[in-house]
Amino acid sequence: MSIESYNPHTGRVLRRFTPFAWAKTQRILSQAHIAYKAWATTTFAHRAGVLRRAAALLRERQDALARLMALEMGKPITDGRAEVLKCATCCEYYAEHAEAFMADELIKTDAGRSFISYQPLGVVLAVMPWNFPFWQVVRFAAPALMAGNVGLLKHASNVPQCALALEKIFHDAGLPAACFRTLLVGSEQVELLLADDRVRAVTLTGSEGAGMAVAAVAGQHIKKAVLELGGSDPFIVLADADLTLAAKIAAQSRMINSGQSCIAAKRFIVEKPVYREFISQLKTHLLALRPGDPLDEATQYGPLARPDLADELTQQVEDSVKKGAKIELHGGQAKPGTALFRPMILSNVKPGQRAYAEELFGPVALVLEAKNADDAVRLANDSRFGLGAAVWTADPKKGETMARQIESGAVFINGLVKSMPELPFGGVKKSGYGRELSYLGIREFVNQKSIWVAKEVVASVKAKTE
């Protein structure tokens, strides 16, 4: 078995890597465990210096890293640059704010002094996906490293070069080598790693099935886990919304990363009076997007990351159409076994269809008709997923009221759902649990330790110093 770097645009294998033997993985884990003890004693200023240098290197190497993403998983090169720059911003954000996020939090109790102390856990294992091969990793690594943890990365097997490039950036930035390592391993070693007491926690971004498997093993070994899984994000458009802008942003949101994003809008829930006009405008915007070679600066969407992913998406669409879904925009694969998938629109999406119940991880827009705002919320919540959502309305207060009713980790009103360092990111229901980013993200992988000091001890110490 080998780990392959495969170009979905050309269909050619770029490089093959021999997976690490378990003995090598164990050596790396041992080194990481030892390195943690030293890294945890470094100052926030020292860690921040490393993260700021990493940010600078990300900016310097943005063209090469974007090219790597284009080659390995088909991301248009302009989108790749934006992803790398977002990673740099995240590194700088935690370099700036981590110390404050980790500061002792005074709590008033019956003690002379009591507070919550935030201290690192140790080795954190990250199991990451291919769709945002740098951003997904950095949003775990930046806060984890700034908290004093160390990281082991088990990346998706189709982006090994991206994984190694990020490892090199951290090492070149001055991070001790053992504090962040890429493990070129298959999924079978994840279970072995989680069984080892030196691995203290795991974070996974990926499919519902992968999340269930990792959560089961983590639970068996009593390991903290954060899961960011699939999404079938609703994009609600009320009759009073700016329809022109909503349809334009809807097309952008559905086509994020060629439709391969957990928080791409997937279910467009439109109030009846503007339903047909929305479909018409959405169709116009999707048809205007230009597919092509991901290395071409003019390309707006590339192929899906692998032909089998396109095959599976085609099957989901065909099964749904057989059960009553209507094709409003024909697109899809030119032929089976190819990775390019042109945008599609399905209407008459109903319960019992795969399109209604499953996540469609590619450029297929599902448009559902809502009777009114309450019905729109009902449809939005009629999903086992709950990651992100959007509400479009001319009445912000109404939008806020609806946002509180929607079962999801985030709701954006009159805007594109996105992740950013300042706000926590994660989901509910089958979209996972735990949070990344913001101050909540850095506190996921720390010991939130309560410290209580008796009044008489505090008084005695104070008397001696006066």
Q: How far apart are the first and last CA of the chain?
A: 70
Q: Is 438 helix (H, G, I), strand (E, B) or coil?
A: helix
Give the pairing of strands 410-413 and 123-127: unpaired
Assess whether 87 carries a catalytic annotation. no
Residue 347: how many CA atoms within 13 Å on its side-chain side? 13
Q: How far apart are CA 267 and CA 250, in angstroms?
A: 10
Q: How far apart are CA 281 and CA 318, in angstroms?
A: 24
Q: How far apart are CA 214 and CA 77, in angstroms?
A: 32
Q: How far apart are CA 268 and CA 233, in angstroms?
A: 8
Assess whether 262 carries a catalytic annotation. yes
Catalytic option among 83, 262, 407, 444? 262
Per-residue DSSP letters for 79-129?
Answer: HHHHHHHHHHHHHHHHHHHHHHHTS-EE--SSSSEEEEEEEE-SEEEEE--
How far CA 17 is from CA of 21, 167, 185, 313, in Å, comes to: 12, 16, 10, 28
Strands (E), 294-445: 326-329, 344-347, 364-370, 388-392, 410-413, 432-433
Q: How far apart are CA 174 and CA 177, in angstroms?
A: 8
Contacts of 184 (CB under 8 A, 6+ apart): 3, 17, 18, 19, 20, 160, 163
Catalytic option among 72, 83, 167, 228? 228
Q: How far apart are CA 368 and CA 311, in angstroms?
A: 24
Q: Just list the catalytic residues.
A: 228, 262
